[in-house]
Structure 1
Amino acid sequence: MGSIAKQEEASILSLAEGILKDTKQVISYLKSSKAALPTFSAAAEPLPTAPDFQQLQTSLRTQLEDLQLLVDGPARFYRYFLVSGYEIAAFQIALTFDFFTAVPAQGDISLAELANKAGLDQDRTNRVIRMLITQRVFQETRPGFFAHNAFSMALHRDEEMKSMVHYSFDEMLKASAHSSDAIKADPFEADSVHCPFYDRFGIPIFDYYRKHPEHAGRFAKAMAGWRKHSYPWADLKGTVVDIGGGSGHVAIELAKFYPHLKVAVQDGDAAMLAIGQKLLSDSVRDRISFTHANFFEPQQYVGASAYLIRQCTHNWADHDVVKILKAIVPGLEGSAPGTPLLINDMIMPEPGSEVPRLWERERRQADMVMLVCYGAKQRTVSEFVGLLKEADPRYVLGKVHAEKGALGLLEVYLERS
């Protein structure tokens, strides 16, 4: 889908015809699934998240983007792209001064009242919210009065989404601005102290969150998304060890969906573990434990039904991942043959593979986050296999659950003689 030949063949008319066709398919899907058609209303319902609908979205978005690029041309594209950083400033200010909470869920608010609630002068309050309105975030209901629309309401009612957006602006994008300087200083080194985040804040990212627990809580909420995978969790019996499980959000969801399972959460951040204790409900409290543990040190829990490491490997450079994988071996050796190590992380496309451009871009964007903030990377299946074999030649890759969503899952086993 992303071949050069197909890009060259694209024309304004063919793209417009494709957009019309895909738009009709999107509408047909929504009607058949009894989902509401999207609007900018603050009361708009969320769109479906099913993989087949996401494929329709990707196809339509790709053609919409190509049509805009052809209509704009290179000069206009770069003029707009270069000022997008200043638009980001409006989001930063609105999040820091909490416009999204200050604007009521229902009804509107005057400029003067919004400025008073935000603790900001009226001039800059006015300029910021009007900038966001041009991005279809918030709306002006009458002169000088503002209300939510679908896009601002999403950040008003969804604390996890708001946390994700806020920590991205507050930490990650500030670090991103230091990328060229940091890499120029260490062009052949990449890890948590040789990366733009360290260059910006003078401290590795994990130490930063220990030093700033108020930001650690926000980061934990931002990371709290959970995706069920096609792995047969129901077949497991006993305890799943959640390595680097943070606040235990994955453990809690696993325990909710599979009442026969116990989950042992391990993490090196005491603040994260403390947050997790507060999240437990009575229905899962007796099946989830929290242990302070360093995943670079040999695994102490033996006899598990599975070891899960989710969205951790992408935070570390190759040599660190090898240490983590080596440290898990004692746990596998002390458990029953066939006990799986489940690596739940993004899977990058192999070089030369033919994948949708926007699908790949989302993964490349995530890979750049790892480069900027952790001196680390997202990996292909073959890269994972290489690190596994380096850690212990007995590691073998079983099934690959390559999900159409953000994350995949690798089933890994330790061969026994």
Structure 2
Amino acid sequence: MAYVDELALHAIYHYKLAQAVPLSGSTTFAEIAQASHLREDLVERFIRQAMCSHIFTEDAPGQVRHTSASRLLATNPDAHDAVGMITCDLSPAGMQTLSALEKYPNSEEKSETGWAQHTEPGISPFEFMAKNPERGRRFGAGMRYFSSGQHWDLGHLARGYTWAALDRPGAVFVDVGGGHGTVSQYLARETKHVEFVIQDLPGTVEAGRKILPEDLRSRVRFMEHDFFTEQPVRGADVYFFRWILHNWSDGYCKKILRALIPALKKGARVLVYEYVLVDGPETRVSRKQPRNLDLMMLAQFNSCERTAKMWEELLRSADQRLRLLRCEIPEGSLYGIIEAVWDGDD
């Protein structure tokens, strides 16, 4: 009966019920109702349903106080937005996914998904969020919350790859679709010589340049680039993708990878930092997130998370000269490092 738990969470988000409970001490259902403008009987029903999941508790009958979970919703805006993202965006999109699959069988288009059915048919999630900036802001905050914590720490990437072998004068690392440069800035502080080129669309690049720390500007730069077009940085040592390819179905991923080929020198690395699914059932709750994201990618983008075998097949189908070297998950990380080498000529 998980849908009733979700209904209670939606009410907590929409009526800001967690914010109506004091951080110390307790309050009554009537006082919460007055603060949230929701009928007292409904406040009681929603909150007591949430209590079944240890969200809120009662000191005595009718005396509501916080648990660690409800306090988090009251004090962490990103956690609050994450609940909104799930209950207002992702869950309704999931409920529309089978309808989209019936309507658009075998589609690889982002505009023909459960998300599009729920929001605005015919446009992609990116286009929808551009038209609805508050929804986009909430989605970004929710994703920021879910990507925080030790499992997402970039230290896993720093320790999981032999950056010392790359760290020499003249080495170039191209961060494709790198946003504001979070990864490149982190790795720049872990290395001494590597030059970093962060590529993204114009608005993102402009924002990234403004916030780039002064002490990194000698080795880190931004460049406007659409990754579906030919890669302009030729002869780099590494072309890096984080959280890019899982947003795209195989057909589009092949286009992205093939756009690199004119720029690749023999021995160049294509490095991908994304989830690697277990090729079989995963029963550990701590390792369930990649499977959760897999169906989220289906509902939003008509895309997927991939197993090691799927990564190998994707690389090979993009070009036989892209050879998978390894596909490993560093200890303590949720993400895998997928490393391919270009065996073609310069």
Please report the TM-score for the alignment, with normalisation by the length of structure 1: 0.69
1:383 to 301, 310, 327: 310
Task: Measure, in 1, the Cα distance between the counterparts of 2:190 and 2:17.
Answer: 36
TM-fit CA distance, 1:92: 1.4
* Partner of residue 214, structure 1: 134
Task: Measure, in 2, the Cα distance between the counterparts of 1:231 and 1:384.
Answer: 18
SS of the residue corresponding to residue 111 of structure 2 reads coil
TM-fit CA distance, 1:368: 1.2
Write the deviation string for residues 334-367 of structure 1: whole angstroms up to 9, x where unpaired. Answer: xxx43321111111233xx586565775433221
**CA pair 328-148 structure 1, distance change in 2 beyond 3 A:** farther
* Partner of residue 199, structure 2: 266
- The one-letter amino acid of 2:135's match is H
Kept in 2, the 8 Å contact 1:220–1:246? The answer is no
Task: Measure, in 1, the Cα distance between the counterparts of 2:214 and 2:164.
Answer: 21
Unaligned runs of 5+ in 2: none
Please report the TM-score for the alignment, with normalisation by the length of structure 2: 0.81
- The one-letter amino acid of 2:14's match is T
**CA pair 275-216 structure 1, distance change in 2 beyond 3 A:** farther
More helix by share: 1
Matches within 5 A, 1:228-377: 228-229=156-157, 230-237=160-167, 238-258=171-191, 263-268=196-201, 270=203, 276=208, 280=212, 284=216, 288-333=220-265, 337-350=266-279, 356=283, 358=285, 361-377=288-304
2:59 to 104, 118, 141: 141
Task: Measure, in 2, the Cα distance between the counterparts of 1:381 and 1:300.
Answer: 29
- The one-letter amino acid of 2:137's match is G
Task: Measure, in 1, the Cα distance between the counterparts of 2:196 and 2:78.
Answer: 23
1:198 aligns with 2:116: yes
* Partner of residue 7, structure 2: 89
RMSD: 3.1
- The one-letter amino acid of 1:307's match is Y
Task: Measure, in 2, the Cα distance between the counterparts of 1:259 and 1:164.
Answer: 37
- The one-letter amino acid of 2:163's match is W
Further displaced range: 119-128 or 251-260: 251-260
Further displaced range: 218-227 or 390-399: 218-227
TM-fit CA distance, 1:176: 0.8
SS of the residue corresponding to residue 223 of structure 1 reads helix
TM-fit CA distance, 1:252: 4.2
* Partner of residue 339, structure 2: 411
**CA pair 251-215 structure 1, distance change in 2 beyond 3 A:** farther
TM-fit CA distance, 1:287: 5.2
TM-fit CA distance, 1:216: 2.4
TM-fit CA distance, 1:326: 0.7
Task: Measure, in 1, the Cα distance between the counterparts of 2:205 and 2:26.
Answer: 40
1:392 to 319, 326, 335: 319
SS of the residue corresponding to residue 376 of structure 1 reads coil
Kept in 2, the 8 Å contact 1:220–1:247? The answer is no
Write the deviation string for residues 287-329 of structure 1: whole angstroms up to 9, x where unpaired. Answer: 5444442211111233544221112111111100100111122
**CA pair 97-375 structure 1, distance change in 2 beyond 3 A:** same
TM-fit CA distance, 1:172: 0.9
Kept in 1, the 8 Å contact 2:282–2:288? The answer is no
Further displaced range: 273-282 or 190-199: 273-282
Kept in 2, the 8 Å contact 1:299–1:330? The answer is yes
Write the deviation string for residues 158-188 of structure 1: whole angstroms up to 9, x where unpaired. Answer: 4444443331222111111112211111223
- The one-letter amino acid of 1:372's match is A
| Identity fraction in percent | 27
- The one-letter amino acid of 1:207's match is E
Further displaced range: 163-172 or 368-377: 163-172
Matches within 5 A, 1:42-191: 83-191=1-109
Task: Measure, in 1, the Cα distance between the counterparts of 2:12 and 2:225.
Answer: 38
Kept in 2, the 8 Å contact 1:176–1:372? The answer is yes
Number of matched pairs: 329
Kept in 1, the 8 Å contact 2:174–2:238? The answer is yes
* Partner of residue 19, structure 1: none
**CA pair 210-293 structure 1, distance change in 2 beyond 3 A:** farther
**CA pair 214-403 structure 1, distance change in 2 beyond 3 A:** same
Kept in 2, the 8 Å contact 1:107–1:147? The answer is yes
**CA pair 366-123 structure 1, distance change in 2 beyond 3 A:** same
Kept in 2, the 8 Å contact 1:154–1:161? The answer is yes
Task: Measure, in 1, the Cα distance between the counterparts of 2:214 and 2:194.
Answer: 15
TM-fit CA distance, 1:152: 2.1
Kept in 2, the 8 Å contact 1:217–1:275? The answer is no
* Partner of residue 15, structure 1: none
SS of the residue corresponding to residue 260 of structure 2 reads helix
TM-fit CA distance, 1:396: 1.1
Kept in 2, the 8 Å contact 1:302–1:332? The answer is yes
Task: Measure, in 1, the Cα distance between the counterparts of 2:190 and 2:64.
Answer: 41
**CA pair 119-332 structure 1, distance change in 2 beyond 3 A:** farther
